[in-house]
Structure 1
Amino acid sequence: MTKSSSVAMKGIRLVYVLLDGIGDLPHPLLNDLTPLEAAYTPNLDALARNGAMGKVISVGKGIAPQSDIAVFNMLGYSFKDGSYVGRGVIESIGCNIDFRDGDLALRGNFATIDDKLKIVDRRAGRVISSEEAKAVCKTLRDNIRFSDKDASIALEPTIAHRVVIRLRHAKMKLSDKITNTDPAYDKIDGMGIAKDTTGEMFVQKSAAEEDSDQARTAAKMLNEFTTQVVQLLRDHPVNRARIAAGKKPMNCIIARDSGNRYPHVDPIDKKHGISVGCIVDMPVEIGISKVLGMKMFQAGDVNDYEEKAKVAAKSLKSVNAVYVHIKGPDEFGHDGDARGKKKNIEDIDKRFFGTLMNELKGSSTAIVVSGDHSTPCVKKGHSDDPVPLLVSGSMVKQDGSARFTENYAKRGNLGLLMGADVLSTAIKMVAG
C-alpha cells in the first residue's frame, strides 16, 4: 500500500490556513499589545483551547523572507541547496506569461518617485485600478525600445501595484545574477530578503553579479527598461488624472527577484502522501500552486472570507487537505496601521473562521493556522520574528493555550519549528 493511500484510509481531513504577515510586535497604539493580542477573536481562541501551539521560523534564523519563499517553506519545500528560482519566475507562472528557460523574469512594483529618483511610495499609494495598470503597461509595451535589437520585453500587471516583467534575448540565455532596482529587497541564493526600509530609498541601478555577457546584458536591459519607464510615465494621462484626484502617480517600476529557469520539484501530493488542494488569489500563490501541482478551488475575491470558508469545507470531499491563503494582515503591517490590522484580524475571525467552524461542525476535521512571515506594524515590512502555529482538532492533545497569540505560541507544547516541517508535523499529529 502506498504512503498516500495509507494516510487517506485514515480519513485525514485538514484545513491549513496561512494568514499573510500575521506575526507582529507590541505596538504603542494598542497599549503595547500585538494586533493579535488586542483583537477580539473568539473563534480562533476556541480553536486554540482545542489544540496545541508553537512558533515557527518560516525560512531561516535571521531571515526576513518574502511571501514566495516563505510559502514554499510552509508547504514543506526549503530549497536549502540554493536552487530557488526567484519570485519573478513564480509570479510569471502565476499570471501565465510565456516563460522559458533563459528568459529573465522579475517581480515589479508600480512606485511613486520624485525627480531625483527618490522613492516616495514603493506601492504608488497601493490603490491602483486594473484599468490604470493596463493602460500604463500598454504604453510601456508599445514604446519601450532596447539598444540591442535582439532584446524584448513582456509586461503584465496583476493586482494593484504589482506587475511581472519578462526580459528575453533572441541570441543568448540571460543570467539571473543581477542586482535589484528595488532597494527594499536583497537576494540571497535566489531568495528575496527584506531589508530595513526606515530610511530614504532611491531607485537603484542594476549591476551584474558575475563576469559574463549574459549578466551584463541582463543588467543593461533592466536599466534601459527602468530609464524609459520613468520617461514614458512622467506625463502619462493616467498619472495626470491620479494627481488631479489627489492620488500618488505610478511613475516608476522597481524590480526585484530575477530568475531564469523553470522550477522542478516533487508534487505536493507525493511529498506528503495526501491529496492537497488550495484556495489562493495572488499571482505568487497561484504560481506556487501550479508548480506544486495543487488542485485550485475558486472562492471569490481576496476578501470574500465567508465564501473561502465554505469552499474550503466543501473541498474536503475531493482532497485530504486544503491550503487557504488569506492576504489581509500583511498589507496593514506594511502600512504601519496597527489598528487596521487588529480590525482585519477580527474580520477574518468572524467571517472566515466563524463560517469555517460552522461548516465543519460535527466533523473530525483538523484546522491548522499559522502565517508565512511576520510583518510588524512598527517596522512596516517583513521581519525575522517567528509566527504563531496552532494545530486544533479532537485528535490533538490540548496544551492549555487559551488564545491564538504570539505569547501563547511561545509557551505551546509544539515548541519551535522550522517552516518546512510544519505541514508534515501537522499531518502526523492528525493522522495519529
Structure 2
Amino acid sequence: MVYVLLDGVGDLPHPDLKGTTPLDYAQTPNLDRMTKNGAMGEVISVGKGIAPESDIAVFNMLGYKFQHAEYAGRGVIEAVGTGIDFKDGDLALRGNFATVNDEGIIVDRRAGRKIEREDAVAISKEIESKVRFSEPNSSVVVAPTIGHRVIVRIRCNGKPLSAEITNTDPAYARIDGMGIAKAVGDYMKIERCLPLRDIPNATLTATLVNEFTEQSLKVMRESKTNQMRGQSGKKLLNSILLRDAGNHYPKVVPINDLYSMRFSCIVDMPVEIGIAEILKMKTFNAGGLTDYEEKARVAAKAMETENAIYVHLKGPDEFGHDGDATGKMRNIEEIDRRFFGTLLDNIDTSKVAIVVSADHSTPCINKGHSDDPVPVLVSQDSVKKDNSVRFTERNAKVGSIGLLEGAQVLKTALQLIKW
C-alpha cells in the first residue's frame, strides 16, 4: 500500500475558479484513473469542529487518536524531528519568524515565507547569545528549520517546566494539549503567555516565555542581519510567534506493532520527520520537497521490501495559507502529472493499493486550516468500485466509504483491499 497525504489539499468553492475548488477545477487524469479504480469517502481528521494543526492531524491519519491532555504538543514533535537535545521537563515550542510593524501589528506571519537559511541561522544565534532569563540555570536553544519555521527549547536545570501555558501566536489556541487554528482578523499582535493552571511551574514557564519574547524582539530589532534585509527590501525577521508547548517525550505503540506490518515513509518537514521517529518508521530519502518523480519512484521501489509506505506531499497547503487558489490548483495538477503519473508507471495496481487523502483542509478563502472534511480514496484492482470518477470533495460526499474519523482510515483501507 502506498498511502499519500496531500497536505491541506481540501478546500471550499472559490470565485477565482468559477465557484469550484482547486481539486475540482484541476485537470488530474491520473487521480481520475485511480478514482475510477476504487472507492471514495470523507474524513474528519481529528474531530468535528476542530481545525487541526498538521501534527495531531497526521497522527490521527496514521491511526493514533490521543486523549487530548495526553498529547505531547507540536513543539516536542518538531524538536524531535529537528534533532534538538530534548528531555522530559524541557519546554519545546514551535515558532514562526514573523514581521511586525512599529505598532507591533503582525504584517506577515511568515516573514515572506522564503527566508535565506543564513539569515535565519544568524538571527537565531544572536538571540541565543543575548537572551538572559531571571531564573538561574535557565537556557534557550533557537533552531531554525525550513523557511519561516523555528523551534525554541527552554531548559531550567533542576526545575521541570510546564506545557500548561497559552500561545503567544494569536492565530492558534492551545486547547487540552492540541493546537487549534483560530478565526483571526487583520490586526493581530503577539499575545502575552499566561499559565493555564495555577501551579508554580506553569507560572515560571510563562514568565520565561515572556522574557524570551521581550528580549528577542529587542535583539531582532537591533540585528545587523535585519538591517541588511531592510536595505534589500526583504521582510524583516523581527519577531517569533510561539505555540504548541510540550514538556515530555510522547509514549506510543510503534506503527509496525500497531498494524503488524512493515510501514515506512517519505517525509520532508520537521513535524513529519518527528512523527516518523516517534512511531519508529523507516524513512526513505527521496530528494527535496518538490522532487515528485523521485518520491514516486522511491515509493514504488520500496514495495519490494516494505508492505506499506506513507508519503507526505507538502505543496497544496502553502498555497492555501497564501490564499492562492489558482496556484493551489496548478500545484495539484503538477502533483498529478509528476507524482501520480510516475507512480502508476512503476507499480502493478493488482498487487499494490494506493490510498490518497489529506491531513486537513486549508481553504484559500480562509488562508488557514479548517474543520471541513477531506476526501479519501482507496484504489486497487480488487476494491469494490463505487462509480466515483474524480478525486474531489463532491465525489467524496457520495462515495461508498462514507464519513470516517482520521484514526479509522488505515484500518478501513486495509479491510477494503482485503489485507
Which category of TM-score, normalised to the shorter sequence, fits these structures?
Answer: over 0.9
Matched, 1:133 2:87: no
Give the share of equivalent positions with the same residue, in percent. 58
Show the counterpart of 1:182: 169
CA distances 1:338-387 after superposition (whole Å, capped 9, x unpaired): 00000000000000000000011465110000000000000000000000
How many residues are treated as equivalent by the alignment?
A: 419
Show the counterpart of 1:388: 375
C-alpha distance in structure 2 between counterparts of 1:179 and 1:273, whole Å: 38
Could you tell me how far 1:246 is from its partner in structure 2?
Answer: 2.0
Any runs of at least 4 consecutive aligned residues in structure 1 with deviations exceeding 4 A, and if so which?
none
Matched, 1:195 2:182: yes
Kindly indicate whether the alpha-carbon contact (under 8 Å) linking 1:197 and 1:381 is maintained by their aligned counterparts in 2: no
Could you tell me how far 1:203 is from its partner in structure 2?
Answer: 0.2
The alignment yields a C-alpha RMSD, in angstroms, of 1.0
Secondary structure, in 3 states, of the residue corresponding to 2:118?
Answer: helix
Could you tell me how far 1:237 is from its partner in structure 2?
Answer: 2.1
C-alpha distance in structure 2 between counterparts of 1:319 and 1:188, whole Å: 37
Show the counterpart of 2:149: 162
Partner amino acid, structure 2, of 1:33: T
Could you tell me how far 1:145 is from its partner in structure 2?
Answer: 1.0
Could you tell me how far 1:318 is from its partner in structure 2?
Answer: 1.6
Could you tell me how far 1:163 is from its partner in structure 2?
Answer: 0.4
C-alpha distance in structure 2 between counterparts of 1:373 and 1:81, whole Å: 18
Partner amino acid, structure 1, of 2:382: M
Kindly indicate whether the alpha-carbon contact (under 8 Å) linking 2:37 and 2:380 is maintained by their aligned counterparts in 1: yes
Secondary structure, in 3 states, of the residue corresponding to 2:69?
Answer: coil
Secondary structure, in 3 states, of the residue corresponding to 1:234?
Answer: helix
Kindly indicate whether the alpha-carbon contact (under 8 Å) linking 2:68 and 2:177 is maintained by their aligned counterparts in 1: no
Show the counterpart of 2:132: 145
Show the counterpart of 1:421: 408
Partner amino acid, structure 1, of 2:279: L
Could you tell me how far 1:174 is from its partner in structure 2?
Answer: 0.5
Show the counterpart of 2:27: 40
Show the counterpart of 1:292: 279
Matched, 1:314 2:301: yes
C-alpha distance in structure 2 between counterparts of 1:106 and 1:301, whole Å: 25
Kindly indicate whether the alpha-carbon contact (under 8 Å) linking 1:277 and 1:297 is maintained by their aligned counterparts in 2: yes
What stretches of structure 2 of length at least 5 have no aligned partner? Answer: none
Could you tell me how far 1:275 is from its partner in structure 2?
Answer: 1.2
Show the counterpart of 2:67: 80
C-alpha distance in structure 2 between counterparts of 1:22 and 1:201, whole Å: 26
Show the counterpart of 2:48: 61
C-alpha distance in structure 2 between counterparts of 1:197 and 1:365, whole Å: 43
Secondary structure, in 3 states, of the residue corresponding to 2:152?
Answer: strand
Show the counterpart of 2:244: 257
Q: TM-score, normalised by structure 1?
A: 0.96
Partner amino acid, structure 1, of 2:247: N
Partner amino acid, structure 1, of 2:376: L
Q: What is the aligned counterpart of 1:277 among 261, 264, 280? A: 264
C-alpha distance in structure 2 between counterparts of 1:132 and 1:357, whole Å: 41
Partner amino acid, structure 2, of 1:199: D
C-alpha distance in structure 2 between counterparts of 1:198 and 1:29, whole Å: 22
What stretches of structure 1 of length at least 5 have no aligned partner? Answer: 1-13
Q: Which is worse superposed, 334-343 or 267-276?
A: 267-276
Kindly indicate whether the alpha-carbon contact (under 8 Å) linking 1:101 and 1:262 is maintained by their aligned counterparts in 2: yes
C-alpha distance in structure 2 between counterparts of 1:191 and 1:368, whole Å: 26
Show the counterpart of 1:100: 87
Q: TM-score, normalised by structure 2?
A: 0.98
Secondary structure, in 3 states, of the residue corresponding to 1:200?
Answer: coil
